[in-house]
Chains A and B, each alone.
Chain A
Amino acid sequence: SQQGEEDPQALSIQEGENATMNCSYKTSINNLQWYRQNSGRGLVHLILIRSNEREKHSGRLRVTLDTSKKSSSLLITASRAADTASYFCATDAFKLIFGSGTRLLVRP
């Protein structure tokens, strides 16, 4: 069974809008990571947030972590067509376990 589950499964927005994706997990973690996957390619690491951190920023990306609710969110601000990809959260309960992903489509 998967540790992390992303929500929504798919998201379609207009260029310039913000995109928010959520991840829920089941057991205690040391860190949570977000990855992006462009079609036909391997995953690319975006952000790692540790269990003692509540928020982290990287450029247009903002990640929050709520360990009491066992959930995380990824916010992409001012989205671009190039942000079209699948986004995955991964948790490290013991082995790095990935969720099923959110497919983001940014329409020009």
Chain B
Amino acid sequence: NAGVTQTPKFQVLKTGQSMTLQCAQDMNHEYMSWYRQDPGMGLRLIHYSVGAGITDQGEVPNGYNVSRSTTEDFPLRLLSAAPSQTSVYFCASSPTGFNSPLHFGNGTRLTVT
């Protein structure tokens, strides 16, 4: 049972490039979410999904897109990378959403130069 798997672990982008951060879970969780973690800022919610085909915005959605075509996968797309998007990105899932514990991946460390 792998839990929540994020790829890649590290990524360096140039300003203006686009990329997709991958997140997959094998626990059949309905709820999935993306957070970014910056020093001194804690975790900030980017986007979340309560089930396949359903997504919604979090606190800091600008510059990011998501889709949820399957229960297992919840990719995060950076449309045109900016240095302000340099951060550590975490994907998390839970069975039912906000009222149950989140299971986190180990993160993707992204640097935009």
Contact = CB atoms under 8 A, between A and B. Distances in A.
Do chains A and B stick together as partners? yes
A61 B36 CA distance: 27
A101 B59 CA distance: 18
Interface in A50-108: 88, 90, 92, 94-101
Contact of B99 (A2, A31, A40): A31
A25 B107 CA distance: 26
A96 B105 contact: no
- Size class of the contact patch on chain A: 20 to 34
Contact of A95 (B42, B58, B104): B58
Nearest to B104: A42
Given A41-B107, A42-B104, A42-B105, A95 B98 contact: yes
A101 B107 contact: no
A45 B101 contact: yes
Interface string B92-110: 1000001111111111000
B11 to A, nearest CB: 16
B99 A88 contact: no
A97 B35 CA distance: 10
A-B pairs, top 8 by smallest CB distance, nearest first, are A42-B104, A45-B101, A92-B98, A100-B42, A98-B43, A43-B104, A98-B42, A42-B106
Interface of A: 2, 30-31, 33, 35, 40-45, 48, 88, 90, 92, 94-101
Interface of B: 4, 33, 35, 40-45, 48, 58-59, 90, 92, 98-107
